[in-house]
């Protein structure tokens, strides 16, 4: 949950004066997204999310994210559409911070996804990859594989504090991931944070994806690896093969994987677990006492790393097939 | 802001199964209310607030609060109506905690109320007092004048930590308030927390009041005193006489004050400042490091206490008339 920026009624009125959306009728801070402040805004014209971008999102990346959302919406993908003001501007400012008004999307995210949800999510992810084809902008993945070893160099002490002996283990993982990291897989726009929180369902069917603020250019199969980690582990830490198979099957209804992509999934999943472990470890150490946001537990991803380390063929289902 | 309780999609579905409100379409935690967890819920039947009552609200008081809200709504007062399930029950349970589904009310609260807003709010408060007439239940004000000295006995050290010398000053205030506290004023149901956060406007007009979880039986003029403190101080700590006059004038369009009520306003306002100073001081000391909720600053009300202490006739406008 996160509401970092407080918007007054006067500031809201000033922002809305640039749009043709009528007068505000209701305005509430909502607990959605960890990186930004989000507000539910109802005006005479409809319902919107006002997202205020906090310092973690680089202002120079915002045009990429907002143009991508607009591109996807215009190419039939169910995602929230940023609203343009009378001068055609999407990226606005409130209280000195960048912000955007985004059309409200109904839908519910699921807390404990079933295999059926995973199938729907896989299909939704493939649709995203296809809808983004031809999008003219690109953004390197600054949290991609090349970034992990340098990131970890600054976090060794935090890892040891979390669990003695962990730093050496992570270094072994990093070497193994670097040695096996695939090259030449099909690339495109990836969501890069396709977690259950960011996917809406309606009546059990995939309805929409939100929160494109990690989207970037990378191997499409890496996006699947992120999603396998996020959707297919049980609360007890075990990997749910049925859910993983369902997710891949759902994905392949829209975009079949190449043999190279499928073969790369184990190391991609190991790497994707590393990426979330490292950022959570960073946030864990960096959060001051008394902060409004409780950081996510890095140990959840440390356990996923351990699963991939112990069973490198797991996501190929080789050891169970 | 506050979202203490996490509700899963399964828990929500189980709760909704008792109601005739159709399937859930959207569900978001909202940053509203400090005492409870609140969620915006959209179903096929409309929009609702799901309030989950956290431990600060006594479960045995909930029927009073919910029946009062229903009474007020049925007597023409614009406040959120609790929804009954198929068995006629308003008070429900989710994740082992009491909860209620309340119809969504549009409206915006104002951050920095103008004198015109204060006039509207005063009228809205008088309407509340009149609409509650005849409500058959009662609840003593457990944060009323009799409670302040015993509360402060446990908070002396926190007061000194906040500002050296403050404890003795507060004890002098408590004696002065106790000696002058009025008896025999007209009593009834008071909101007891009629702050700008809890009042909605539409197009500059009073639209609704929310958050009745401090409502109780007390002198009606005490409610005005709480509101004068909450609405009529400037950010620099000065008392805005124009706003206070507007609030009283608005109130008196619906319910004229007796001479005794008007004469009691200064000590009631001094006491009302004491009540919020004491609970904020308590919360300030009691909040653990790392808590999700930043407590409100007790010094804001310490400054209001100082204003009433220095100018006992201020809210009578005697020193400026």
User: Parallel, antiparallel, or unpaired for β B92-94 and B216-219?
Assistant: unpaired
Q: Are residues B94 and B242 in the same domain?
A: no
The secondary element (H helix, E strand) that includes residue B249 is helix B241-252
Q: What is the pLDDT of residue B293?
A: 54
Kindly report the CATH number assigned to the domain that includes residue A43: 3.30.200.20
Q: Are residues B134 and B227 in the same domain?
A: yes
Q: What is the pLDDT of residue B207?
A: 95
* A293 — pLDDT class (breaks 50, 70, 90): low
Q: What is the pLDDT of residue A179?
A: 97
For residue B275 the two structure tokens come to 């009540």
Q: What is the pLDDT of residue B285?
A: 74
Q: Are residues A274 and A141 in the same domain?
A: yes
* Rounded-to-integer distance, Cα B46 and Cα B105, Å: 11
Return the closest-CA partner of residue B135 out of B69, B228, B225.
B69
CB of A216 within 8 A of CB of A141?
yes
- Tell me if A28 and B31 make a contact (CB, 8 A cut-off): yes
- Which candidate from B1, B26, B107 shows the least CB-CB separation from A106? B26
Please indicate, yes or no, if residue B262 is contained in any of the structural domains.
Answer: yes
Q: What is the pLDDT of residue A287?
A: 62
Q: Are residues B152 and B190 in the same domain?
A: yes
Q: What is the pLDDT of residue A111?
A: 87
- CA A9, A11, A17, A18 dihedral sign is negative
Contacts of residue A28 in chain B, CB cutoff 8 Å? Answer: 30-32, 40
Under an 8 Å CB criterion, which residues of B touch A?
1, 3, 8-10, 12, 23-32, 40, 42, 106-112, 202-203, 289-294
Is the pLDDT score of A69 beyond 80? yes
CA distance B253 to chain A (A): 26
CB of B66 within 8 A of CB of B91?
yes
Return the closest-CA partner of residue B187 out of B223, B149, B227.
B223
Please indicate, yes or no, if residue B108 is contained in any of the structural domains.
Answer: no
Q: Are residues A65 and A196 in the same domain?
A: no
Q: What is the pLDDT of residues A127-177, one digit of tens each?
A: 999 999 999 999 999 999 999 999 999 999 999 999 999 999 999 999 999
Q: Are residues B163 and B84 in the same domain?
A: no
Query: Which of B28, B113, B197, B201 is most worth mutating to test chain A (most A CB atoms within 10 A of its CB)?
Result: B28
Please indicate, yes or no, if residue B236 is contained in any of the structural domains.
Answer: yes
Q: Are residues A194 and A99 in the same domain?
A: no
Q: What is the pLDDT of residues B53-67, one digit of tens each?
A: 987 778 899 999 999
Contacts of residue B1 in chain A, CB cutoff 8 Å? Answer: 3, 29, 31, 292
* Rounded-to-integer distance, Cα A216 and Cα A221, Å: 13
- Among A83, A103, A123, give the residue marking a domain's end: A103
Q: Are residues B175 and B249 in the same domain?
A: yes
Is the pLDDT score of A288 beyond 80? no
| Long-range contacts of B199-204, Cβ-Cβ distance < 8 Å, separation of 24 or more | B199/B109, B199/B110, B199/B121, B199/B124, B200/B105, B200/B106, B200/B107, B200/B108, B200/B109, B201/B107, B201/B108, B201/B109, B201/B110, B201/B117, B201/B120, B202/A25, B202/B106, B202/B107, B202/B108, B203/A23, B204/B116, B204/B117, B204/B120
| Phi, psi for B38 (deg, rounded to 5) | -125, 140
Which DSSP letter does residue A108 get? B
Q: What is the pLDDT of residues A243-272, one digit of tens each?
A: 999 999 999 999 999 999 999 999 999 999
CA distance A9 to chain B (A): 6
Is the pLDDT score of A2 beyond 70? no
pTM of the model: 0.82
Q: Across the strands, what pairs with A43?
A: A24, A46
* B88 — pLDDT class (breaks 50, 70, 90): very high
Is the pLDDT score of B287 beyond 80? no
| Phi, psi for B91 (deg, rounded to 5) | -85, 115
Q: What is the pLDDT of residues A12-49, one digit of tens each?
A: 999 999 999 999 999 988 877 667 889 999 999 999 99
- Compute the average pLDDT of residues B29-44: 85
Q: What is the pLDDT of residue B3?
A: 60
Query: Which of A13, A28, A106 is most worth mutating to test chain B (most B CB atoms within 10 A of its CB)?
Result: A28
CB of A287 within 8 A of CB of A293?
yes
- Compute the average pLDDT of residues A286-304: 73
A259-286 and A145-153 are packed helices; what angle lies between their axes, rounded to 10 degrees?
Answer: 30
- Percent of chain A past pLDDT 90, that is, above it, reads 79
Please indicate, yes or no, if residue A312 is contained in any of the structural domains.
Answer: yes
Under an 8 Å CB criterion, which residues of A touch B?
1, 3, 8-10, 12, 23-32, 40, 42, 106-112, 202-203, 289-294
Query: Which one is predicted more confidently, A235 or A314?
Result: A235
- Compute the average pLDDT of residues B26-53: 89
| Cα R_g (chain A), whole angstroms | 20
Please indicate, yes or no, if residue A109 is contained in any of the structural domains.
Answer: no
**Residue appearing with tokens 């409670």:** B147
Is the pLDDT score of A278 beyond 60? yes
Q: What is the pLDDT of residue A289?
A: 53
Is the pLDDT score of A106 beyond 60? yes
* Rounded-to-integer distance, Cα B27 and Cα A247, Å: 25
User: Parallel, antiparallel, or unpaired for β A187-190 and A205-209?
Assistant: unpaired
Q: How many domains does chain A have?
A: 2
For residue A235 the two structure tokens come to 């609360």
- Percent of chain B past pLDDT 70, that is, above it, reads 93
- Tell me if A29 and B29 make a contact (CB, 8 A cut-off): no
For residue B122 the two structure tokens come to 């005063």
Domain that holds residue A71: 9-103
CB of A92 within 8 A of CB of A18?
yes
- Compute the average pLDDT of residues B1-10: 72
Contacts of residue B29 in chain A, CB cutoff 8 Å? Answer: 1, 30-32
Q: What is the pLDDT of residues A53-66, one digit of tens each?
A: 987 778 899 999 99
| Phi, psi for B60 (deg, rounded to 5) | -70, -15
* B111 — pLDDT class (breaks 50, 70, 90): confident
Query: Which of A7, A15, A29, A31 is most worth mutating to test chain B (most B CB atoms within 10 A of its CB)?
Result: A31
Q: Are residues A39 and A95 in the same domain?
A: yes
User: Parallel, antiparallel, or unpaired for β B24-30 and B36-43?
Assistant: antiparallel
Q: Are residues A132 and A198 in the same domain?
A: yes
- Among B70, B103, B136, give the residue marking a domain's end: B103
Counts of helices then strands in chain B (DSSP H, E): 10, 9
* A320 — pLDDT class (breaks 50, 70, 90): very low
Q: Are residues B95 and B122 in the same domain?
A: no
The gap between the terminal CA atoms of chain B, to the nearest Å, is: 40
Q: Is B22 left (phi over 0), alpha (psi -120 to 50) or beta?
A: left
* Rounded-to-integer distance, Cα A29 and Cα B292, Å: 15
* B1 — pLDDT class (breaks 50, 70, 90): very low
Please indicate, yes or no, if residue A110 is contained in any of the structural domains.
Answer: no
Please indicate, yes or no, if residue B321 is contained in any of the structural domains.
Answer: no
- Compute the average pLDDT of residues B4-15: 87
Kindly report the CATH number assigned to the domain that includes residue A185: 3.90.1200.10
Please indicate, yes or no, if residue A226 is contained in any of the structural domains.
Answer: yes
Q: What is the pLDDT of residue A35?
A: 74
Return all residues near B178 (Cβ < 8 A) that are at least 6 apart: B145, B149
- Tell me if B10 and A112 make a contact (CB, 8 A cut-off): yes
Return the closest-CA partner of residue A21 out of A70, A92, A95.
A92
- Which candidate from B9, B31, B290 shows the least CB-CB separation from A3? B31
Q: Are residues B31 and B170 in the same domain?
A: no
- Tell me if A32 and B29 make a contact (CB, 8 A cut-off): yes
For residue B34 the two structure tokens come to 């400090």
Q: What is the pLDDT of residue A319?
A: 43
- Which candidate from A24, A106, A110 shows the least CB-CB separation from B25? A106
- Among B76, B103, B130, give the residue marking a domain's end: B103
- Percent of chain B past pLDDT 90, that is, above it, reads 79
Contacts of residue A23 in chain B, CB cutoff 8 Å? Answer: 203
Which DSSP letter does residue B311 get? -
Q: What is the ipTM of this complex?
A: 0.76
């Amino acid at each position: 949950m996160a509401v970092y920026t407080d918007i007054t009624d006067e500031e809201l009125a000033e922002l809305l004066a640039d749009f043709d959306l009528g007068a505000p009728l209701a305005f509430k801070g909502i607990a959605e997204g960890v990186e930004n402040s989000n507000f539910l805004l109802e005006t005479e014209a409809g319902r919107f999310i006002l997202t205020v971008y906090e310092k973690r999102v680089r202002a120079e990346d915002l045009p990429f994210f907002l143009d991508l959302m607009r591109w996807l919406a215009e190419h039939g993908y169910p995602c929230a559409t940023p609203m343009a003001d009378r001068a055609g501007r999407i990226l606005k400012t409130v209280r000195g911070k960048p912000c955007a008004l985004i059309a409200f999307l109904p839908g519910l995210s699921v807390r404990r996804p079933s295999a059926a949800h995973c199938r729907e999510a896989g299909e939704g992810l493939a649709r995203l990859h296809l809808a983004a084809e031809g999008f003219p902008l690109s953004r390197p993945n600054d949290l991609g594989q090349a970034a992990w070893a340098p990131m970890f160099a600054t976090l060794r002490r935090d890892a040891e504090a979390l669990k003695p002996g962990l730093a050496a283990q992570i270094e072994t993982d990093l070497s193994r991931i670097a040695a096996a990291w695939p090259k030449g897989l099909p690339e495109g726009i990836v969501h890069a944070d396709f977690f259950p929180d960011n996917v809406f369902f309606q009546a059990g069917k995939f309805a929409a994806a939100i929160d494109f603020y990690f989207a970037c250019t990378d191997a499409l199969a890496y996006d699947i690896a992120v999603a396998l980690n996020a959707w297919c582990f049980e609360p007890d830490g075990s990997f749910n093969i049925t859910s993983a198979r369902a997710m891949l099957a759902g994905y392949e209804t829209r975009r079949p994987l190449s043999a190279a992509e499928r073969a790369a999934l184990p190391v991609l999943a190991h790497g994707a677990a590393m990426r979330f472990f490292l950022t959570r470890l960073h946030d864990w150490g960096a959060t001051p006492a008394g902060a409004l946001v409780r950081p996510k537990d890095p140990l959840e991803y440390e356990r996923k790393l351990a699963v991939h380390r112990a069973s490198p063929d797991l996501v190929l289902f080789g050891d169970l097939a």
